[in-house]
Structures are given as C-alpha cells and as structure tokens.
Homo-oligomer: A and B are copies of this chain.
Amino acid sequence: MSYFDAASSAPLHPVARQALHASLDEGWADPARLYREGRRARLLLDAAREAAADAVGCRPDELVFTSSGTRAVHAGIAGALAGRRRAGGHLVVSAVEHSSVLHSAEVHEAAGGTVTEVGVDRGGAVSPEGYAEALREDTALACLQSANHEVGTEQPVAEVAEVCRAAGVPLLVDAAQSLAWGRVDGGWSLLTGSAHKWGGPAGVGLLAVRKGVRFAAQGPADERESGRAAGFENIPAIVAAVASLRAVRAEADAERARLRELTERIRERVPALVPDVEVVGDPVRRLPHVVTFSCLYVDGETLLHELDAVGFSVSSGSSCTSSTLTPSHVLRAMGVLSEGNVRVSLPAGTEAAEVERFLGALPGVVAGVREKLGAPAGPTAGAEGASLVVDALGKRCPLPVIELAKVIGDVPVGGTVTVLADDEAARLDIPAWCEMRGQEYVGERPADHGRAHVVRRSS
C-alpha cells in the first residue's frame, strides 16, 4: 500500500505521536486557571507558541492556535477585513486559492464587499504585476497561497508582498502546503497554517498576525488565544503539532532533495509511459513532493478507484470525481485538461521503490479505463465531410472528449466538428484536448441544451 496524498493529510509523524502521549497528562487543564494543573497547561502552551513562532518567523505574541487551517483562514480574512474597514471593502485573491479562502471571499461579497480574482498562467502561478493591477485605493486585504495545493506551483509571495507593501495593503499568506518545508519569505502581514498537513494531528491550525496590522476579530467574544480563536485550547494536540513541525523542519533539506527527485521522475516518466497525458503545474518553481497530471479519455473517479485497487491512494481534481460535477477551480483557472486528473503528493519517507511500482502500474490502469470507455487508441483516419455534429448531451466527462476524438479524423483538415455537451468539464477539456492535439478550438456558443463547442481540424 502506498499513500500518495500527503497534500490532503499526512500520517501522524512519530514525534507528534510521542508528544501527544506525553502531554495528555500535563495539558488537559484550563491554562487560564491559577492552580498547578492550569499553570502546567499554560507552560506547555507558552512553549509551543514560542516554538511555532520560531518556525513561522514571527513573535510569539503574533501567533495564535486555531482549531484547523480552515478556521485560521476564515478568522484571518474576516479579522483583517474588519480591521481595515475604513480603508475600504475590496479584497484581492488569486483564482487558485484553497476553498477556505474563496469561500471567505464569497461571504465577503455577499455582505456587500467586492472581490477581485487574480488569474494565473498555464503553470498555475500568479504574477506580481497581476496583483499590482488588482490593488485599488479601497483594497482592504490581499490573499495569496505560498504554493498551490493541487498542482504544487510555488507562488511569488515575496514579490507580491512587496507590491502590497508599496500599496499599503496587508497580505495574508495561506502557507498550508509549504510550512513543512520552511518559513515563508518576504513581508507578509498575516499567515495561516494547518498541522495535519505537516504530520501533526488534526484539530490544530495557526494564525499569525504581524504587530501593526489592523485586526478586529469577528464573531462572539472569547478571551482565549488573544480573542482570535474561540474555544478551549487543545493543548496536547498543539504540543504534538509543534513537535512535528520542528521534526519535519529538521528533516526538510534531505527530504526536499529526495522527494524532488522522485516527483521529477514521475514528471518525466508518466508522459513517456502513458499516451495522451498532460503534466500540469510549474516544472521548476514547485513543491518538492507534489506532481499532477491529467489523462485524456479517462474518468477520474474510475481511475482513482482502480489505482486504489492496486494499492495507491491519490486524489483528483477531475469533475468526474466524487460528489462534485465541476472540475477543480485550480485546473479551470490554469486552462489545462481536467479529465483523468491525478495528484500525487508524497509523504515524507516515501521510498523510490514505491514510485517505481506506481510507474509500473499506471500505464495498465489507464489503458484499462480507456478500454472500458471505448476511447480511441490512436489517430483515426478517413475524411467524409466538411463538418460534423456530435451529440454528447447528457454524457459526463470524459465522454464528450472521447466522442470528439473518435470523429475528428472523419472531417478533412480545415473542416469542423461541433460537440453538443452539457457537462461543465467539457468547457475546459475540449479546448485542452485541442491544445494537446494541435487542433484549433474555435469557441463555444449556447445551444438548445448545454453548449456547442466548435473544433477545426488543423492537422
């Protein structure tokens, strides 16, 4: 069994387990109390805060513990927006932020605020210029992840922070994916993190707010954690989380080099081993442990199921996965193929042999899924008319693209295929297929049901 979904949640680090056990006896009492059990709990909490602040690169009194990374983001954005209300109600986020950021933006918009989403390039990165253009007189806050959770692309945080500083706008950095690897460089104003991403237990997030940043905690008052994180402190879990962060940091340099080599191997080998694959995300400025690719003519849910059956746990941003009917907002913002999408994120300690096993199993698994779906094996031949219409209404990803691929050879070069589809993913995947195949995507227009996607055969 190989668990390759560390970007969702990492298994508990052995050091975290030890620290949790040790602090269950010392850390259960209320740290606000004056008696010895309370004082002991307070000592543990204070020590954890100092160590976490050191790992983050801030002062202990700038850092509070929350009950999750999501809560840290929600509380951080709400507090920063409220603290800067007099500056205005404009919020800037990238289009590829974690859902906790985007959902906070939705709430802000619903309450009368305005939001600008900064787009990304095909590699998933924003540009400092994009942020500079988005900032306005009335911008209260800007948010940017340190690295993307789906494709691993690292963002130019220091440069964006400089742009924000020049404009007098605080920058909140969601560092959930990168905090295991090191501090976030640059002049950020607020920073959030999530312990279970770095091998700590669930139930612990962190929120750092630099001194001087205007911040007004929202929600009912609560005296704990400087009024920024309501509820009884979860001290044993906090102690374990911080112990784990220190442990993974101590191993970070060695693991970074090792895992980077393994993901590099996946990036190189998968397109060679599996036809019609697009590796997505920045090839250089990226997290060491994450690699993401999409497979044409493959249904993501079936692919995950088959990979699970042969012993690999990965995740997918495909629309055809689990409950969602739309492709991942990250892949959509990047404009890359979403069908048959696989994210491999290696936990610390992953062996090279596991990666080789994965590379050995993947081609057969993908071929099997494609065969079941009746996907085209290679370029098709024949030229029967100047234009064709394919009715893929009611068919879900990846079927519209499979139907298109089956008939593209039936029109002459210069002729068009119009695909009628009502699956949201087709809007992303048909253009992506054209790009991969060197065909021309003419555009889409509304049709009676769904949309008509027009493709011109170029080769």
Give every chain B residue within 8 A of A37 (Cβ-Cβ). Answer: 3, 5, 313
**A104 contacts which chain B residues (CB < 8 A)?**
220
Tell me if A32 counts as interface (CB < 8 A to partner B).
yes
In the complex, A174 has a CB within 8 A of chain B = no
CB–CB B234/A33 < 8 A: no
Cross-interface CB contact of A103 among B1, B10, B221, B322, cutoff 8 Å: B221
Closest to A73 in B: B220
Which of chain B's residues have a CB closer than 8 A to the CB of A99?
222
Question: Is the Cβ of A313 less than 8 Å from the Cβ of B36?
Answer: yes
Is A43 positioned at the interface, with any CB of B under 8 Å from its CB? no
Query: Closest CB-CB distance, A345 to chain B, in whole Å?
Result: 12
With known contacts A28-B9, A74-B220, A220-B106, A202–B35 Cβ distance under 8 A:
no
User: Smallest distance from the beta carbon of A455 to chain B beta carbons, Å?
Assistant: 32
CB-based contact A107/B231 at 8 Å: no
Measured CA separation A269–B405 after assembly (Å)? 88
A424 at the interface (CB under 8 A from B): no
A residues 5-43 near B (Cβ < 8 Å) are 5, 8-12, 17, 20-21, 24-25, 28-30, 32-38
Residues of B within 8 A of A38 (CB): 313
Residue numbers in B under 8 Å from A21 (CB-CB): 21
Contact partner of A100 (CB less than 8 A), chosen from B3, B201, B230, is: B230
Known A8-B33, A196-B28: A230·B322 in contact at CB below 8 Å: no
- Pick the contact of A301: B34, B107, B194 (CB < 8 A): B34
A315 within 8 A of B: yes
Number of residues of chain A lying within 8 A (CB) of chain B: 64
Contacting residues of chain A (44-71) with chain B, CB-CB under 8 angstroms: 67-71
Q: Tell me if A246 is interfacial: C-beta within 8 Å of chain B.
A: no
CA–CA, A17 and B221, complex, Å = 31
Q: Does the CB pair B315–A33 fall under 8 Å?
A: yes
- The residues in A between 406 and 447 inclusive whose CB is less than 8 angstroms from any CB of B are none
The answer to the question of A237 belonging to the interface, with a C-beta cut-off of 8 Å to chain B, is yes
Q: Are A5 and B35 in contact (CB under 8 A)?
A: yes
The distance in angstroms between the C-alpha atoms of A8 and B205, with both chains bound, is: 23
Residues A232 and B35 in contact, CB atoms below 8 Å apart: no
Does A185 belong to the interface (CB within 8 Å)? no
Q: Closest residue of chain B to A196, judged by CB?
A: B232
Q: Known interface pairs A220-B107, A231-B205, A232-B202. Does A68 touch B67 (Cβ–Cβ under 8 Å)?
A: yes
Expressed in whole angstroms, the minimum distance between the Cβ of A134 and any Cβ of chain B is 21
Q: In the complex, how many angstroms separate the beta carbon of A347 from the nearest chain B beta carbon?
A: 11
A454 to B249, CA, bound (A): 66
Return chain B residues, CB-CB under 8 Å to A219. Answer: 74, 107
Contacts of A169 in B (CB 8 A): none
In the assembled complex, the Cα of A11 lies from the Cα of B24 at a distance in Å of 9
Whether A222 lies near B100 (C-beta < 8 A) is yes
Interface contact A68-B308, CB-CB below 8 Å: no
**B-facing residues in A338-387 (Cβ within 8 Å):** none
- Chain A, residues 288-308, CB within 8 Å of chain B (1/0): the string is 000000000000010011011
A221-251 toward B: CB 8 Å interface, digit per residue (1/0)? 1100000001111111100000000000000
Contact A70 B34 (CB under 8 A): no
Most B C-beta atoms less than 10 A away, residue of A10, A29, A307: A29
B-chain residues with CB within 8 Å of residue A11 when the two chains form the complex: 28-29
Q: Report the minimum CB–CB distance from A70 to chain B (whole Å).
A: 4
Given contacts A107-B220, A220-B106, whether A308 and B201 have CB atoms under 8 Å apart is: no
Interface status of A314 (Cβ within 8 A of chain B): yes
Nearest CB in chain B to that of A234: its residue:
B203
Q: Which residues from chain A sit less than 8 Å from chain B, CB to CB?
A: 1, 3, 5, 8-12, 17, 20-21, 24-25, 28-30, 32-38, 67-71, 74, 99-100, 103-104, 106-107, 194, 196, 201-203, 205, 219-222, 230-237, 301, 304-305, 307-308, 312-315, 321-322
Q: Nearest 4 CB-CB pairs, A to B? A: A68-B231, A67-B67, A35-B313, A203-B234
User: What are some 30 contacts across the A-B interface (CB < 8 A)?
Assistant: A1-B36, A5-B29, A5-B33, A8-B30, A9-B28, A9-B29, A12-B25, A17-B24, A24-B201, A28-B196, A29-B313, A33-B313, A34-B304, A34-B322, A35-B307, A35-B314, A36-B313, A37-B313, A67-B67, A67-B234, A70-B232, A74-B220, A100-B222, A100-B230, A103-B220, A106-B220, A107-B219, A107-B221, A196-B232, A202-B232
